């Protein structure tokens, strides 16, 4: 069997989206992924691919029948939900927006269940953005808050951060600080490790901001954080001295009590520090193309997640139009899920509703759903665009080809099938007529 | 005197990240996501042997785990995110869209064999 070598292949096994991989493949499979970390190797080599093209009610079906059935379910639904999109390409995400708009549906992505609180914080007080390239070349102070990239983003430290050799900085020029509730694998590599008590991140970040700005803090309350005033003063001085600093925040900050207010405390501190140097606050996103989903929804609707089209124009309200809330309140009567891993992040109260309603799943494998369609996996046998952790778009270089359609193809065909059906009341145009 | 409740911290791990690609319904993934790591003294105080099967109860739900001793801070337990931790998660998102996924207080009880 002839072998091919694909250089500079892009991996979406985690949000690092490393694009320096060399893939060795034959016609059927990839058998070697040079430069890949353990997560990348698994992403390229071990992902199972379904032999069945599509199923309806668990029985094998043709792709066109599955698309027609999916279109009918969505057409008949009063309040459909389009959800997931974290494991697909930006092109498919764009198609999902178009479909959701055509259906007057709600569109929510894995962002709401991962780092959505960071988006909310940015809306509360703004954010300073930058790239991982800037950090690699310039950062002299790197803080990980509630994050453990040594385990979750295996090549992050080496490619973009502390251990990388940039144009102006090397490891010797950088100070690495880890703030976490436990001494994680990342903490073991840090110059300074601060063990914080659970659920006191907001207090510690606010105290730090006060110290940076020379404001008074109540020391007795500080004890609750498990950190001493001396430790925070020392960190505040380092923050002020840094010429280019970054706080990478993980789910240890974004998913604990306080949620978006924790994220807001971090972004506010970052903004305050731009008075003395350049400072970024960046979430360490979960695997896949979740950053792409944010970017695509921002670009197409103006909002990053939790978007509702039922009035014919995009409306945004986390808590109202987000999947976990909509499903728990039983306000969804059909769901289209692109990438099933998103569902497994939902609390049981939301997942129970998914068992009650018709579901359409588009994924690389056949899943337990009313309609399940297996597509060509992005990066393996489907090309497209993926966004890195810092929202830099990169192209996939798939080494294999597939007869399967891509997510984008399937979403477009469902939309076209819906568009062939007669308009139902109420439609956006009908509402506009009434308003006129 | 009753012991204080422990705090549950679901986490992400490298192995879990790899296993997600293979499948969340796979046995290895389920084993990984049902293994709860607790400080040895916390187990001893509660008379729970290392390796015991326990029912963990939060204010929102319950799920079964296997307890193992580990180098973790006292008063806390760590487990990779997965279907069992989703059972312990409340549906309320405080208007953010994201349920609080860490820092739940919980009780645990050893599962007794039917015989």
A81-96 per-position pLDDT tens digit: 999 999 999 999 999 9
Kindly report, as residue ranges, where domains of CATH 3.40.50.1220 are found in chain A. Answer: 51-112+288-378+405-435
Residues of chain B contacting residue A365, judged by C-beta atoms under 8 Å apart: 23
| Whether the predicted pLDDT of A30 surpasses 50 | yes
pLDDT at A146: 96
The C-alpha atoms of residue A396 and residue B89 are separated, in whole angstroms, by 35
In which band, very low, low, confident or very high, does the pLDDT at A429 lie, cut at 50, 70 and 90? low
Task: Answer whether A247's CB lies under 8 Å from A161's CB.
Answer: no
| Whether the predicted pLDDT of B22 surpasses 90 | no
Report the complex ipTM.
0.89
CB contact under 8 A, B18 and A255: no
pLDDT at A427: 54
* DSSP assignments along A100-157, one per residue: HHHHT-EEEEGGGGTTHHHHHHHHHH------HHHHHHH-SEEEEES--HHHHSTTHH
CB contact under 8 A, A259 and B98: yes
This prediction has a pTM of 0.93
Q: Please work out, in degrees rounded to the nearest 5, the angle formed at the alpha carbon of residue B69 by the alpha carbons of B68 and B72.
A: 120
Residues of chain B contacting residue A113, judged by C-beta atoms under 8 Å apart: 97-99
In which band, very low, low, confident or very high, does the pLDDT at A404 lie, cut at 50, 70 and 90? very high
Residue A305 Cα distances to A62, A144, A421, angstroms:
32, 25, 28
In which band, very low, low, confident or very high, does the pLDDT at A99 lie, cut at 50, 70 and 90? very high
A393-395 and A385-387 beta bridge pairing: antiparallel
Phi-psi map region of A406: left, alpha, beta (phi>0 left; psi -120 to 50 alpha): beta
A315-316 and A307-308 beta bridge pairing: antiparallel
CATH of domain A51-112+288-378+405-435: 3.40.50.1220
Q: What are phi and psi of A251, to 5 degrees?
A: -70, -15
User: Does B85 fall in a domain?
Assistant: yes
Tens digit of pLDDT for each residue in A305-330?
A: 999 999 999 999 999 999 999 999 99
To the nearest whole Å, the CA of B8 is away from the closest chain A CA by: 10
The strand pairing partners of A338, in sequence order, are A84, A362
CB contact under 8 A, B91 and A324: yes
pLDDT at B19: 74
| Whether the predicted pLDDT of A432 surpasses 70 | no
> Which residue in A43, A305, A320 is closest to B21 by CB distance?
A43
Q: What tokens appear for A210 in the block?
A: 């006060």
Task: Answer whether A279's CB lies under 8 Å from A79's CB.
Answer: no
CB contact under 8 A, B91 and A349: yes
CB contact under 8 A, A259 and B7: no
Q: Is A14 exposed, middle or buried (0-12, 13-18, 19+ CB in 10 A)?
A: buried
DSSP letter, residue A422: P
The C-alpha atoms of residue A31 and residue A1 are separated, in whole angstroms, by 13
The C-alpha atoms of residue A86 and residue A339 are separated, in whole angstroms, by 7
> Which residue in A154, A181, A318 is closest to B96 by CB distance?
A318
The CATH number that applies at residue B83 is 2.40.40.20
Count of the separate structural domains present in chain B: 1
To the nearest whole Å, the CA of A48 is away from the closest chain B CA by: 6
> Which residue in A116, A183, A365 is closest to B98 by CB distance?
A116
Q: Check residues B112 and A17 and name the one with the higher pLDDT.
A: A17
A351 in contact with B, Cβ within 8 Å:
yes
Task: Answer whether B14's CB lies under 8 Å from B94's CB.
Answer: no
pLDDT at A426: 54
| Percent of chain A with pLDDT strictly greater than 70 | 97
**Average predicted confidence (pLDDT) for chain A:** 93
The chain B residue lying nearest A110, using CA atoms, is B98
Return the number of CB contacts < 8 Å for A and B: 140
Give mean pLDDT, residues A284-297: 94
Residues of chain B contacting residue A254, judged by C-beta atoms under 8 Å apart: 98
Tens digit of pLDDT for each residue in A412-421?
A: 999 999 999 9
Give mean pLDDT, residues A369-386: 96
The C-alpha atoms of residue A336 and residue A339 are separated, in whole angstroms, by 10
Cβ neighbours of A355 (radius 10 Å):
8
| Whether the predicted pLDDT of B114 surpasses 50 | no
pLDDT at B16: 75
User: Does B32 fall in a domain?
Assistant: yes
Residue A269's SS3 state is: helix
* DSSP assignments along A25-67, one per residue: E-SS-EEEEET--HHHHHHHHS----S--EEETTEEE-HHHHH
Residues of chain A contacting residue B11, judged by C-beta atoms under 8 Å apart: 148, 252
Q: Check residues B89 and A385 and name the one with the higher pLDDT.
A: A385
pLDDT at A430: 47
Phi-psi map region of B94: left, alpha, beta (phi>0 left; psi -120 to 50 alpha): left
Task: Answer whether A186's CB lies under 8 Å from A249's CB.
Answer: no
The C-alpha atoms of residue A90 and residue A393 are separated, in whole angstroms, by 9
In which band, very low, low, confident or very high, does the pLDDT at B105 lie, cut at 50, 70 and 90? very high
Q: Check residues A14 and A27 and name the one with the higher pLDDT.
A: A14
To the nearest whole Å, the CA of B100 is away from the closest chain A CA by: 5
| Whether the predicted pLDDT of B64 surpasses 60 | yes
- Residue found by looking up tokens 């997640």 in the block: A305
pLDDT at A317: 96
User: Does B50 fall in a domain?
Assistant: yes
The chain A residue lying nearest B98, using CA atoms, is A113
Radius of gyration of chain B (CA): 14
Task: Please identify among residues 238-257 of chain A the ones whose CB lies closer than 8 Å to any CB of chain B.
Answer: 251-252, 254-257
The C-alpha atoms of residue A301 and residue B5 are separated, in whole angstroms, by 44
| Whether the predicted pLDDT of A431 surpasses 70 | no
Q: In chain B, where do the E strands start and end?
A: 6-11, 35-38, 53-57, 62-69, 76-80, 104-110
pLDDT at B66: 96
User: Does B115 fall in a domain?
Assistant: no
* Residue-number span of the structural domain to which B35 is assigned: 6-90+102-110
CA quadruple A221, A225, A228, A229: dihedral, nearest 10? -50
Cβ neighbours of A281 (radius 10 Å):
27
Q: Check residues B29 and A338 and name the one with the higher pLDDT.
A: A338
Kindly report, as residue ranges, where domains of CATH 3.40.228.10 are found in chain A. Answer: 116-283
Select from A154, A198, A200, A260 the residue whose CB has the most chain B CBs within 10 Å, as the one to mutate to test that interface.
A198
A209 sits in which H/E element:
helix A201-212
| Whether the predicted pLDDT of A220 surpasses 90 | no
Within 8 A by CB and 6+ apart from A80, the residues are A74, A103, A105, A106, A332, A333, A334, A335, A336
pLDDT at A230: 95
Task: Give chain A's largest Cα–Cα span.
Answer: 71
| Whether the predicted pLDDT of A409 surpasses 80 | yes
Phi-psi map region of B47: left, alpha, beta (phi>0 left; psi -120 to 50 alpha): left
| Whether the predicted pLDDT of A433 surpasses 70 | no
The chain B residue lying nearest A349, using CA atoms, is B91
| CA nearest neighbour of B70 among B43, B38, B42 | B38
Arch. (CATH architecture) of A116-283: 3-Layer(aba) Sandwich (3.40)
């Amino acid at each position: 069997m002839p072998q091919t070598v694909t250089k500079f292949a892009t991996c979406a096994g985690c949000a690092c989206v490393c694009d320096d991989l060399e893939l060795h493949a034959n016609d059927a499979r990839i058998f070697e992924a040079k430069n890949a970390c353990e997560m990348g190797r698994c992403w390229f080599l071990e992902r199972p691919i379904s032999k069945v093209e599509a199923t309806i009610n668990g029985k094998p079906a043709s792709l066109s029948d599955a698309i027609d059935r999916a279109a009918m379910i969505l057409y008949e639904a009063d309040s459909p939900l389009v959800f997931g999109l974290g494991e697909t390409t930006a092109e498919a995400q764009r198609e999902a927006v178009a479909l959701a708009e055509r259906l007057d549906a709600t569109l929510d992505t894995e962002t709401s269940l991962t780092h959505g609180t960071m988006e909310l914080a940015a809306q509360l007080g703004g954010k300073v953005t930058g790239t991982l390239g800037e950090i690699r070349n310039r950062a002299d102070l790197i803080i990980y808050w509630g994050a453990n990239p040594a385990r979750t983003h295996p090549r992050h430290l080496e490619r973009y951060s502390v251990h990388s050799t940039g144009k102006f900085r090397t490891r010797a020029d950088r100070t690495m600080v880890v703030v976490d509730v436990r001494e994680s694998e990342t903490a073991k590599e840090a110059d300074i490790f601060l063990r914080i008590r659970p659920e006191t991140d907001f207090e510690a970040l606010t105290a730090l901001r006060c110290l940076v700005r020379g404001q008074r803090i109540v020391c007795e309350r500080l004890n609750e954080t498990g950190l001493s005033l001396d430790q925070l003063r020392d960190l505040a001085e380092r923050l002020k001295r840094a010429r280019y600093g970054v706080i990478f925040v993980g789910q240890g900050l974004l998913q604990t009590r306080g949620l978006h207010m924790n994220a807001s405390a971090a972004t506010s501190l970052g903004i305050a520090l731009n008075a003395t140097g350049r400072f970024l606050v960046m979430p360490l996103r979960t695997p896949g193309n979740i950053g792409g989903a944010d970017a695509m929804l921002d670009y197409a609707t103006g909002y990053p997640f939790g978007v509702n089209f039922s009035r014919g124009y995009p409306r945004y309200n986390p808590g109202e139009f987000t999947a976990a809330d909509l499903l728990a309140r039983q306000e969804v009567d059909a769901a289209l899920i692109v990438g099933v891993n998103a569902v497994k992040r939902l609390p049981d109260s939301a997942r129970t509703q998914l068992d009650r309603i018709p579901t359409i799943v588009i994924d690389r494998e056949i899943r337990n759903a009313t309609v399940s369609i297996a597509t060509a996996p992005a990066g393996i046998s489907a090309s497209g665009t993926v966004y890195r952790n810092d929202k830099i778009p990169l192209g996939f270089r798939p080494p294999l080809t597939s007869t399967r359609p891509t997510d984008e193809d399937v979403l477009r065909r469902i939309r076209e099938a819906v568009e062939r059906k007669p308009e139902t009341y109420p439609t956006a145009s009908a509402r506009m007529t009434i308003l006129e | 005197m009753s012991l204080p409740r422990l705090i549950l911290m679901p986490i992400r791990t490298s192995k879990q990240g790899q296993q997600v690609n293979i499948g969340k319904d796979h046995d290895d993934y389920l084993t990984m996501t049902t293994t709860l790591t607790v400080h040895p003294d916390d187990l001893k105080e509660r008379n729970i042997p290392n390796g015991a099967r326990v029912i963990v109860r939060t204010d929102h739900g319950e799920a079964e785990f296997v307890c193992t001793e580990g180098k973790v801070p006292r008063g806390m337990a760590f487990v990779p995110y997965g279907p069992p931790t989703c059972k312990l998660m409340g549906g309320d998102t405080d208007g953010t869209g994201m349920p609080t996924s860490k820092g739940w207080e919980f009780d645990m009880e050893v599962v007794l064999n039917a015989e």
